[in-house]
Amino acid sequence: MTHANAALTPRHRLKVAQLVVDGGYPISEVAAQFQVSWPTVKRWADRYLAGESMYDRSSRPKTSPTKTSPAVTKRYVSLRMRLREGPVQLAVRVGVAPSTVHRILRSARLNRLSYIDRATGETVRRYEHPYPGSLVHVDVKKLGNIPDGGGWRYVGRR
């Protein structure tokens, strides 16, 4: 999805690429016409030639070679549940950086010791409301001695 201030939308990118590739116009003229730099026009023309999409690509990496393995992650989580120690103590015990242990515990939603019951080691399940104010309780009681049928404003003073 293009951002609000993008010079070229996917439709215009396609038009730019078609002008350069199919129309034979010079890159510099097309760049001046659409008010973008020539490397931008070259990029979209190259993508058009390769048959790629004119939409924005994801910035997420395809692979993460240094990602912590699931076995190591499972070990840190089991140590947290068994010993109930913080990331610094667990890092010293295992021999890795505390920031790594904290990241793993945060992704497992065990980053706070208050989330774990200290006696049993189980995760604490809290009652959550679907939206703010969903559990509003109003207790209405009669504080004044108001007669049936209304008070003095309705009946008048005697």
For the stretch 32-43, pLDDT in tens is 999 999 999 999
For the stretch 104-157, pLDDT in tens is 999 988 888 777 777 777 777 777 777 877 777 777 776 777 667 777 776 676
Looking at residue 66, what DSSP letter applies? T
Looking at residue 136, what DSSP letter applies? -
Quick check: 45 and 27 in contact, CB under 8 A?
A: yes
**Tokens 């038009």 label which residue?**
15
Q: What is the pLDDT of residue 20?
A: 94
Distances (CA, A) of 137 to 133, 142, 151: 9, 17, 27
- Output the pTM of the full model: 0.46
Q: What is the pLDDT of residue 142?
A: 66
**Could you state, in order of their start, the residue ranges of all structural domains in the chain?**
10-50, 70-115
Tokens encoding 49: 């030639």
How far apart CA 56 and CA 41 sit, in angstroms, is 14
Q: Write the burial class of residue 158 (CB in 10 Å: 0-12 exposed, 13-18 middle, 19+ buried).
A: exposed
Quick check: 21 and 48 in contact, CB under 8 A?
A: yes
For the stretch 61-116, pLDDT in tens is 989 898 888 998 999 999 988 888 889 999 998 888 999 999 999 998 888 877 77
Q: What is the pLDDT of residue 16?
A: 93
